Chain A
Amino acid sequence: MTVVLRNVSKSYGRDFSVKNVSLTFETGKIYGLLGPNGSGKSTTLKMITGLVYPSKGTVEVGKEKVTRKTCQKVAYLTELDTFYPSFTVGKMIDFYASQFADFDPRKARQLLQDMKLDRSKKIKQLSKGNRGRLKLVLALSRNTPVLLLDEPFSGLDPMVRESIVKSLLSYINFNEQTVIIATHEIDELEPLLDEAIVIVQGSIIGQKNVEQLREEEGLSVLEWFKSTIAQMKGD
């Protein structure tokens, strides 16, 4: 499903979090929204889910303006831990299933198995890596046309990152889903991406097709990202 942001700004008080951003995200592609901490990545994702509304401009998911109900079409992995610590893994899955009509319990079971998560374990007993895995299980088990992942790798060791990449590749529905991943950890993510978008201080300062970037400019996303930011600071 196509996601469109038109001249979107979001300010908190006098500070802009996102400044006049226009972007289009298409079905079947994985986008990386890349930027340093505090660059407006999370705010952008929240505006696509309908958790936050723009101060100016419009956000559309599948040609409809985003409202509170947009969460029916958008699965969202937050960078925060939003679990009830006393819940077990199984109870958390059941809770998600009760909240979202598109939740696929079969997919959830398969993912739990792949990620080696125990249904009976309490969330407060899980390691950080396993909480990260559980978040991904919850997000990927929903059959939504839009999937947003906010820092899915944050604080996780290389083994967990690898298992997350594999699950993403196994469970994303490339014929129907639009996937946007916000991160400042670019290296890991690059081979997964179709398009890379750099956002700094609330503004989009570049967008490139990853393979084209390598073919035409001989640059990896990380190199391009660094040079783009260096240029900006030089101005």
Chain B
Amino acid sequence: MAKDFQASKPIYVQIADHLSYQIVRGELKTGEKLPSVREMAILSGVNPNTIQRTYSEMERMGIVETKRGQGTFVTENEHVLKELKIRLQNDIIAVFVQNMKDLGFSQEDMIKGLQQYLRREEM
């Protein structure tokens, strides 16, 4: 796992984001068991209290489920996973749009630029 964390975001959020990506990309399957809090702490070199918070937060969002005495599992709720995918998409778009705005591009420029880029990709 990425050991370098951004300064501006809580570490528990960054680990939750990382896990969310893994779930959407299918690297973590629906219904799959996540490492225990301690295992995850060791894997990522992070305080277990932080990992506990990551898991609680993801549980609150419905992305994972904790079964008593068994551990934490990726949800099998397709609806939640679809929403998660859209949320990640929106996050990426938000960053893209902000960066473009900072560079002084208008909405039109952005769309044009993106279309051109995608056309080139296709070729």
Chain A interface (Cβ < 8 Å from any Cβ of B): 28-30, 162, 165-166, 169-170, 174, 190-194, 210-211, 214-215, 218-220, 222-223
Contact = CB atoms under 8 A, between A and B. Distances in A.
A218 B48 contact: no
Nearest to A223: B7
Contact of A211 (B8, B10, B41): B10
| Binding site secondary structure of chain A | helix
B17 to A, nearest CB: 13
Contact of A30 (B5, B8, B44, B47): B47
B53 interface: yes
Contacts of B10: 211, 214-215
Given A192-B47, A193-B47, A211-B53, A169 B7 contact: no
A211 B12 contact: yes
Contacts of A211: 10-12, 50, 53
Contacts of B42: 166, 169-170
Contacts of B47: 30, 169, 191-194
Best-buried of B38, B49, B53 by chain A (most CB within 10 Å): B49
A54 to B, nearest CB: 30
A170 B11 CA distance: 19
A223 B9 CA distance: 13
Nearest to A172: B48
Contacts of B24: none
A46 B36 CA distance: 35
A219 B7 CA distance: 6
A29 B49 contact: yes
Given A211-B53, A214-B7, A218-B7, A191 B48 contact: no
Nearest to A167: B42
B46 interface: yes
Contact of A191 (B8, B38, B46): B46
Pick the 4 closest A-B CB pairs, nearest first: A220-B7, A218-B8, A191-B46, A214-B10
Interface in B1-58: 3, 5, 7-12, 38, 41-42, 44-50, 53
Most buried by B among A28, A211, A218: A211
29 contacts: A28-B49, A29-B49, A30-B47, A162-B45, A169-B41, A169-B45, A169-B46, A169-B48, A174-B48, A174-B49, A190-B5, A191-B3, A191-B5, A191-B11, A191-B45, A191-B47, A191-B50, A192-B45, A193-B47, A194-B49, A211-B11, A211-B50, A211-B53, A214-B7, A214-B9, A218-B8, A218-B9, A220-B7, A222-B7
A218 B41 CA distance: 23
